[in-house]
Amino acid sequence: MSAPVPKTMNMIEAINSALDIMLAKDPDVVIMGEDVGYFGGVFRATAGLQAKHGKTRVFDTPISECGIIGVGVGMAAYGLRPVPEIQFADYIYPGLDQLVSEAARLRYRSANDFICPMTVRSPFGGGIFGGQTHSQSPESLFTHVCGIKTVIPATPYDAKGLLIAAIEDNDPVVFFEPKRIYNGPFSGYYDRPVEPWSKHEGSAVPKDYYRIELGKAAVVREGAAVTVLTYGTMVHVVKAVVSEHGIDAEIIDLRTLLPLDIEAIEASVKKTGRCMVVHEATRTSGFGAELAAQVQERCFYHLEAPVERVTGFDTPYPHSLEWAYFPGPVRLARAFDKIMKD
Amino acid sequence: MDNKLPESFSQLWAEMDMEQSTKDNLSPLHLHIPEPKFRPGDVADFGDIIVPAVDAYPRPDEHAMPADIHRLAYGLVRVLGDDHQAMGSWNPGLDNATLQVMLRKMLLLRAFDDRMFRAQRQGKTSFYMKSFGEEATSVATTMALDFDDMCFPSYRQQGILITRDYPLVDMMNQIYSNRGDRLKGRQLPIMYSAKDYGFFSISGNLTTQYPQAVGWAMASASRGDTRISAVWCGDGSTAEGDFHNALTFAAVYNAPVIFQVVNNQWAISSFSGFAGSERTTFAARAIGYGIAGLRVDGNDALAVYAAMQWAANRARNNGGPTLIEYFTYRGEGHSTSDDPSAYRAAEEYALWPLGDPVTRLKDHLVTIGAWSDAQHDALIIELSEYVKTIQKEAEQNGILGHGLHHPFETMFEDVFEEMPWHLKEQCAQMLEEQQDKFGPDWEAR
């Protein structure tokens, strides 16, 4: 049998394909969330799935994130493999106790008696004029919780393979989808025309089943001058800035924040001697703080400059001043100047 | 239809001065802080609690529409009368052997509680919670369920495990967090988990089990299974958002789940007024959600059994969820960590108008000639000795803080299915710390 020919997909289509494949492959998979059923989700990630797989497999829920995630924990305890959608990551907080105290600890507290193989999908991040309730990046709240895996794809290809692996994983996974790049990779130059996914190699997505192992980073650009650790939308912004300024940076897309691919990080930083961590989330106690700590613990004697953090500011995500908040090309260029001078 | 509130609520409205004021003549606003009627030093008087006659609220058809049975949410389902006879339409008609098993389970639970409470006082473990006065709400309910129905307990339903013949020694091993503990010493005492016995892992965070029980029931229904789920919480924890989210989901999807509120009047030191009991009943929470609500004499084991049986039959026939309130009283402290004489009147339990669930069931059995006081006294001694024997067996595996725990490295197991690198690193560090602490031969200890 010849290998299936990859087709071009944007990230929404890739996620939809992963869900479709898993619904067909595993009768335990159930999808639920606000507007995910008949309508197919506000971002269309579940379009057509209810019609194809039936109403008891893909269905709408009350507007209650605590209820959605709590019900998911109960379904998982029964033996199902729920994949709830939280419509925006900003809405996940009412469900936080069910994730932190229940889903994440069920295996541990019951000594493997009950498990929670649940994948919570949620669009996150800004750059869409979503204001302070449709733009947040709360990933570090989850990496701080023991018992949850946190996964963030940056391409359609990775989104599909990682989502399939997340659904098949027997532990709870929070799967944050960078909604700014659902329809095309974002360079960070918001005044330039949007590039479609079809021009990006990451949009070559096989239509059949495949998985990408959780906990493995990807080197998206090899380089010798500086290592950049990033994920999600910022992978593409960093790539554009590095190309624009001719910086020989090695860009690592972490893909899974927890468990972290520490070997890939360590090898790269020891090679380049410089490390920059980049995320859109607020700065203080962000995931970049953990990355900086890991790098200085493991690579201190290889570092030629202090670890540099490029992040969003410690304010709520503003509406009109979105591009002054976003860690875009200007903030990145200044940081590269600084880290390369030291 | 008679939806009249019990007198105690009407009285509250009167006290709250609900008279209309003219705009020019408004009295200042005042904030109402609920206060229990009796505090230490008072003699409790429960004269305002209405105890209706047996069958004042007859058993409706199991397929009744929720809107047609609102009365039941304000009434009190009772079977055992003051003459100790079982009467009326709710009488489940259990045979003598079943009634004797029910009494035996409740007495075993009481003996177990007494022994474990004492073990905590002796310093053998950190914590314990008794279910004294509420035994019917875990034993009689479980007897009305099938063995493979899933129970989602709160922290005071050890009677479920005892009723389902879970080994007492395993309960004690968990309480002692010893090397025999099936939960590897990870959980506070009494936070059991027993999937094989249809007993969901107890969280310790309140009412989180409510939406989980709904999810389990939805899964069962979506699979065309025949099993249902039953979930317990206390009066105080009905205030949690999870309670209301769960009722919404159960109503929306007609989930085969039975919600139970053990209204034992007290949440540690806060009386049920802080969960809203001054205004309405907990069973009446069902009405706004359009699900069936029953308020039951929680110290009448036969009424408790009958209510659960009604709700279980209803759920199993796709009739959807039921909310049952058991009106009962927490006979002792919340746990080993509080002293109820510091916040409520002494002797409240002795004065409680609904009596003691064990005594009432015993009196019924004696009245119908299926039991005697002599048999009862002998059984109490037998069960006490039995629990002591099991306790000795459990203590062979160690007591809390005396070395016989699970191996140190098990601390890092089961965080994930497979241990990631960072936990392996931290585990190695912890083992080195033990070497520093106990010396090079520590592993041989």
pLDDT tens, position by position, A110-130 = 999 999 999 999 999 999 999
What is the pLDDT at residue B127? 96
Reply yes or no on whether A200 is catalytic.
no
Q: Please state, in angstroms and rounded to a whole number, the distance separating the CA atoms of residues A302 and A318.
A: 38
Of B216, B246, B417, the CB nearest to A75: B216
* Chain B: residue whose CA lies nearest to A32: B215
What's the sign of the alpha-carbon dihedral B266, B268, B273, B274?
A: negative
Q: Fill in the amino acid letter for B60.
A: P
> Of A311, A292, A319, whose CA–CA distance to A303 is shortest?
A292
* Alpha-carbon distances of A239 from A11, A25, A195, rounded to whole Å: 18, 36, 14
End-to-end CA distance of chain A: 55
Delimit the domains of chain B by residue range.
Answer: 66-395, 408-444
Taking CB atoms and an 8 Å limit, are A109 and B420 in contact across chains?
A: no
Low-confidence stretches of chain B (pLDDT beneath 50): 1
Question: Tell me, which fold does domain B66-395 have in CATH?
Answer: Rossmann fold (3.40.50)
- Exposure on the CB side of residue A84, measured as CA atoms within 13 A: 35
The answer for B 306-365 residues in CB contact with A (under 8 A) is: none
pLDDT tens-digit series, residues B325-371: 999 999 999 999 999 999 999 989 999 999 999 999 999 999 999 99
Phi then psi for residue B150, to 5 deg, are -95, 125
Q: What is the pLDDT of residues A71-94, one digit of tens each?
A: 999 999 999 999 999 999 999 999
Each residue's pLDDT expressed in tens, for chain A with a length of 342 residues: 456 667 899 999 999 999 999 999 999 999 999 999 999 999 999 999 999 999 999 999 999 999 999 999 999 999 999 999 999 999 999 999 999 999 999 999 999 999 999 999 999 999 999 999 999 999 999 999 999 999 999 999 999 999 999 999 999 999 999 999 999 999 999 999 889 999 999 999 999 999 999 999 999 999 999 999 999 999 999 999 999 999 999 999 999 999 999 999 999 999 999 999 999 999 999 999 999 999 999 999 999 999 999 999 999 999 999 999 999 999 999 999 999 997
Can you give the pLDDT at residue B444?
52
Contacts of A108 in chain B (CB under 8 A): 186, 414-415
Region for B138 from its dihedrals, namely left if φ exceeds 0, alpha if ψ lies in -120 to 50, beta otherwise: alpha
Q: How far is it, in rounded angstroms, from Cα B386 to Cα B167?
A: 12
Cβ of A109 within 8 Å of Cβ of B245? The answer is: no
Residue among A69, A77, A260 whose CB faces B216 most closely:
A77
To the nearest whole angstrom, how far is the Cα of A266 from the nearest Cα of chain B?
Answer: 14
CB contact under 8 A, B193 and A113: yes
Give the integer Cα–Cα distance in Å for B177 and B170.
10
Are B218 and A77 inside 8 Å of each other by CB? no
Q: Do B245 and A64 touch (CB under 8 A)?
A: yes
| pLDDT for B1 | 42
Q: What residues does A256 pair with on adjacent strands? A: A151
SS in 3 state form for B360-378? HHHHHHHHCCCCCHHHHHH
Residue A324 identity:
A
Complete DSSP assignment for B61-114: PTT--GGGGHHHHHS-B--B-TTS-B-STT-----HHHHHHHHHHHHHHHHHHH
The residue in chain A having the minimum alpha-carbon distance to the alpha carbon of residue B197 is A113
User: Which H or E run includes A96?
Assistant: helix A96-97
| pLDDT (tens digit per residue) in A231-258 | 999 999 999 999 999 999 999 999 999 9
Q: Rounded CA gap, B419 and B401, in Å?
A: 27
Looking at this predicted complex, what is its ipTM? 0.96
Q: How far, CA to CA in Å, does A92 sit from each of A87, A133, B214?
A: 8, 11, 20
Beta bridge mates, A150: A174, A258
The dihedrals phi and psi of A33, each to the nearest 5 degrees, come to: 160, 175
Buried b (16+ CB within 10 A) or exposed e, B408-443: eeebbbbbbeebbeebeeebeeeeeeeeeeeeeeee
What is the secondary structure of B239-275 as a DSSP string?
GSHHHHHHHHHHHHHT--EEEEEEE-SEETTEEGGGG
Q: What pLDDT, on a 0 to 100 scale, did the predictor assign at position B12? A: 62
- pLDDT value of position A5: 67
